A and B are shown apart, each in its own frame.
Chain A
Amino acid sequence: MPSPTSRLRWLRAKLYSVRNGTGAAILPPNISRIALSFNYKSNNGHMGPRKFFRECLPRLKYHNPEVDMTVTRKDALEGPATLTIHFTNTPIEQELQLKKKQPTTPTIRETISTIDIDMLNRYPDDIMEELVTKTKATLYSEPPRPQELEEEAEYLAAKRQNELKEKYKLQRADRRKGKDDQLKGAILA
């Protein structure tokens, strides 16, 4: 098992990128499911959908754990690439009760209507924009860190920089000394 420090250093960055970025939006509760359908190969305009799936969908899933997200991919080289949004009429109050009892449990909800978004030949940002307008989702932004934490982080960063400075100074001195020694040795020889 790798050491915890090496694991957590990049984990923190990874988690931040899952919480923020294009795709970080909170969908309204009347959406039960989002289904993507596109090809394995990126020929004929299927690159955008793939990027959307890889970059935006994890963020969307993180902010909407209850929404079912399915991806079906085909072996074909051509064909449509669509994103289907399924709407339900499950009342909000019942939803709340369900959540209190069993959070993040997928509950089966009937779909009453669907909306299709054509993803062919489009960039992920573009697809996301249309998704947000059509679903009336609210964009998520990370709340700012409290003042204390900010100050502490600054202090730690400054401390770290000073430590590095001294370390490099010593290293440089060592290197210079080593070179001088080498030179002396050479001349003596």
Chain B
Amino acid sequence: MASSISICRACLTRPSTLVGRTPRLLRPTSDIHRLLPTTSTVPSLIFTSGFSTTPSLPAGGGAINRAKMKSSKLKQTKKKKPKTHFKIWNHAELPKYALTEAMRYIRAFEVGNDVRQAKYDLAVKIYTQKNGPAVKSRIQLPKAVNTDIRICVFADGKKADAAREAGAVVVGTKDVWEQIKEGIINFDRVICASDVFQEFQKTGLGRVLGPKGLMPSPRTGTVVTNPATIISAMIGASDYRERQGVVRIAIGQLGFSPDELRDNIKVFMDQLAKDLARIEDFDKRINEVVLSSTNSPAFSLSGEFRNIGREEDLDITPEVIEGAVAAEEAPVAAVL
């Protein structure tokens, strides 16, 4: 088969050489004879094409047809409408996990890691348009996740002193902006006092701060008349925003108990639902809620706290203890 194909390719690329070689190719022992149907129109066609310079079929007929095919395919693809929404999947029949069950698995995958460093991570898939307004907000969780946030405040005079007292790490105006221009950014949040804001806008630092999501703007509530007041609220708060149709947030440290995590998730989901409802004229709905952590696979949550349907399977503790008591009485059996 392979040899025949190579011949064919040669024919397609160099038709002139084929004309001279046709008699040799059509010897009864050649591969072509075996591959073709014995009594068909093809052999006669071969002869005509081989020996006449103006055959009934054009020499490059195959190639032209192929080109036509390609163009028709291209037309078909062009007809497809561009997708306006982010893709969502039907996950109704796929397994879902209760919170405690997911946590138990996650704790197993995260064994040996620092309980404070590893975080539970919540991803909420949203049915939404690709363009249009995105969700972006801040939330104060019942139990804060990040307690060591470094805040930078652009202010001068009395406001700067007040901000420093409230817990801001970097405070100042021109000297701080120059530092940022040089690339020294050792903070996670930026607040700007409203009287310095116009001056700040002239510096053109949006190019540096913008991609990092640090740019203060009145819309996100980071340009305030008195920065000191919101610092305390900001230290325990966490930001979240919609990216590619998914809202992600660190929802808890790995050491949190199921109750604490449940409260955090509840509060977050309530606020997110309100955020989605607030955006008018755009249909935004929650599609899926997925819990994962720094080093573990992701679990699609069912919305239950404990698995009700299979409680007997999960809650093995009483049996285990009985088994252990029996094992102490008869250690040999336990070893086996």
- Are A92 and B61 closer than 8 Å at their CB atoms? no
Nearest-CB residue, chain B, relative to A73: B112
- Say what secondary structure dominates the interface of chain B: helix
- Are A28 and B328 closer than 8 Å at their CB atoms? yes
Nearest-CB residue, chain A, relative to B292: A7
Nearest-CB residue, chain B, relative to A6: B89
Nearest-CB residue, chain B, relative to A26: B320
- Are A188 and B61 closer than 8 Å at their CB atoms? yes
A14 to B62, CA, bound (A): 51
- Which residue of A3, A65, A95, A183 is within 8 Å of B4 (Cβ)? A183
Tell yes or no: B32 within 8 A of A by CB.
yes
A96 to B12, CA, bound (A): 81
List of A residues within 8 angstroms of B257 by Cβ: 102, 104-105
A127 to B246, CA, bound (A): 44
List of A residues within 8 angstroms of B246 by Cβ: 1
- Are A1 and B123 closer than 8 Å at their CB atoms? yes
- Are A183 and B104 closer than 8 Å at their CB atoms? no
Task: Tell me the smallest distance from the CB of A44 to a CB of chain B, in Å.
Answer: 21
A7 to B8, CA, bound (A): 45
Q: Given A62-B105, A99-B317, A179-B1, is A189 in contact with B15 using a C-beta cutoff of 8 Å?
A: yes
Tell yes or no: B5 within 8 A of A by CB.
yes
- Are B42 and A11 closer than 8 Å at their CB atoms? no
List of A residues within 8 angstroms of B94 by Cβ: 4-5, 8
- Are A136 and B103 closer than 8 Å at their CB atoms? no
Tell yes or no: B277 within 8 A of A by CB.
no
8 Å CB contacts to A: which residues of B37-76?
42, 45-46, 49, 57, 59-63, 65-66
- Are A4 and B4 closer than 8 Å at their CB atoms? no
- Which residue of B45, B61, B107, B298 is within 8 Å of A61 (Cβ)? B107
A20 to B102, CA, bound (A): 17
- Are A29 and B324 closer than 8 Å at their CB atoms? yes
A1 to B126, CA, bound (A): 11
Q: B16-31: contact bitstring with A at CB < 8 Å (1 yes, 0 no)? A: 0010000000000000
Task: Tell me the smallest distance from the CB of A106 to a CB of chain B, in Å.
Answer: 8
- Are B321 and A187 closer than 8 Å at their CB atoms? no
Q: A16-34: contact bitstring with B at CB < 8 Å (1 yes, 0 no)? A: 0010000000111100000
Tell yes or no: A137 within 8 A of B by CB.
yes
Tell yes or no: B297 within 8 A of A by CB.
yes
- Are B288 and A4 closer than 8 Å at their CB atoms? yes
8 Å CB contacts to B: which residues of A57-87?
57-62, 65, 69-71
8 Å CB contacts to A: which residues of B94-121?
94-95, 100, 103-105, 107-109, 111-112
Q: Given A1-B123, A15-B105, A26-B323, is A183 in contact with B8 using a C-beta cutoff of 8 Å?
A: yes
* Additional A-B contacts beyond A136-B327, A187-B36 (9; CB < 8 A): A7-B298, A8-B95, A59-B108, A69-B111, A102-B257, A102-B259, A132-B335, A182-B8, A185-B8
Residues of A within 8 A of B (CB): 1, 3-5, 7-8, 11-12, 14-15, 18, 26-29, 36, 53, 57-62, 65, 69-71, 92, 95-96, 99, 102-106, 132-133, 136-138, 179, 182-189
Residues of B within 8 A of A (CB): 1, 4-5, 7-9, 11-12, 15, 18, 32, 35-36, 42, 45-46, 49, 57, 59-63, 65-66, 87, 89, 91, 94-95, 100, 103-105, 107-109, 111-112, 123, 125, 244-246, 255, 257-259, 288, 290, 297-300, 316-318, 320-321, 323-325, 327-328, 331, 334-335
